[in-house]
């Protein structure tokens, strides 16, 4: 049975002990914006704005650490069920962030990509997303994937549909389909699977996020709500990851 032992990290805070990262791809479930707002007796939209600040801190931090890939869960396909006012605010917030923060992302050499069903997003936001992807495609720093209007079951279902079309058109035979081929039809087809998934807010579930890609991903859950998440929390997650012995399969 294949085993991979993580590297030992000795740092206690900040970037200390995490400069030589033992992994290349971290996925995040950014949970707790609304709970943070309730905790501070503030409107929920304030929590979302604070959540943007937390993401900016994290992107800057992991860029300095030379992390190769960061994938964050910004808006799930189920989030459309929230109130019309909240969804409308989030769509405008995403648009504003891409407008106001783009220059800083570009200066930091971030390559920005989006995974999810982009075709159903509001026109103004979809246009900003397309522009951001095009204008950062040659950047050589952090690869930042933002999962927006994303659901993993939806992603896998769509991949299965595309494979079915390939079979119907005679381009492949059913017995040629394997895990690698199916992976090639996912949104993340040119991105390595995450070695670590961090969830903020203390909840112990995947919430329909990267189900296929996380088959052997290590999970780390912190009680810190997303607006409270600081670089030191990320560093502690990396240190915990480095202490684990990863296994593929059973014991």
Degrees, nearest 5: CA angle 31-32-33: 110
> What DSSP assignment string belongs to 179-220?
HHHHHTTSTTTTSPPPSEEEE-SS-----SSSTTTTTT-EEE
**Out of 4-13, 134-143, 153-162, 183-192, least confident range:** 4-13
Q: What is the mean pLDDT of the chain?
A: 90
Of the pLDDT bands very low, low, confident and very high (cuts 50, 70, 90), residue 213 is very high
Q: Answer yes or no: is pLDDT of 10 > 50.
A: no
Structure tokens at 183: 């992976």
What's the confidence (pLDDT) of residue 250? 60
Q: Answer yes or no: is pLDDT of 222 > 60.
A: yes
178-209 pLDDT, tens digit per residue, is 999 999 999 999 999 999 999 999 999 999 99
Query: Which entry of 31, 33, 143, 235 is annotated as an active-site residue?
Result: 31
DSSP state of 10: -
What's the confidence (pLDDT) of residue 104? 84
Report how far residue 5's alpha carbon sits from residue 81's, in angstroms, rounded to the nearest whole number: 42
pTM for the structure as a whole: 0.88
What backbone torsions phi and psi does residue 212 show, to the nearest 5 degrees? -70, -45
Active site residue 79: yes
The answer to whether 158 touches 78, Cβ cutoff 8 Å, is: no
Query: Which entry of 33, 38, 79, 178 is annotated as an active-site residue?
Result: 79
- Domains of the chain with bracketed CATH: 21-150+193-228 (3.40.1180.10)
């Amino acid at each position: 049975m294949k085993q991979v032992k993580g590297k030992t990290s000795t740092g206690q805070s900040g970037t200390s002990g995490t400069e030589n990262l033992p992994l290349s791809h971290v996925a995040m479930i950014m949970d707790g914006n609304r709970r943070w707002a309730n905790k501070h007796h503030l409107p929920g939209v304030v929590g979302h704005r604070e959540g943007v600040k937390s993401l900016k801190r994290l992107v800057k931090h992991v860029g300095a650490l030379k992390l190769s890939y960061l994938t964050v869960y910004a808006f799930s396909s189920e989030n459309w069920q929230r109130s019309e006012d909240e969804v409308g605010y989030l769509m405008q917030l995403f648009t504003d962030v891409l407008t106001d923060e783009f220059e800083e992302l570009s200066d930091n050499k971030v390559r920005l990509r989006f995974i999810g069903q982009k075709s159903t997003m509001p026109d103004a936001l979809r246009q900003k997303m397309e522009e951001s992807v095009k204008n950062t495609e040659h950047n050589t720093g952090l690869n930042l994937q933002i999962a927006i209007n994303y659901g993993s079951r939806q992603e896998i279902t769509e991949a299965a549909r595309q494979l079915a079309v390939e079979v119907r058109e005679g381009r492949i035979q059913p017995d040629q389909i394997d895990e690698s081929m199916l992976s090639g039809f996912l949104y993340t087809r040119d991105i390595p699977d995450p070695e670590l998934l961090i969830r903020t807010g203390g909840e112990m579930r995947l919430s329909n996020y990267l189900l296929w890609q996380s088959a052997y991903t290590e999970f780390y859950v912190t009680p810190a709500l997303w607006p409270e998440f600081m670089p030191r929390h990320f560093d502690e997650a990396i240190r915990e990851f480095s202490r684990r012995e990863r296994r593929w399969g059973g014991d």
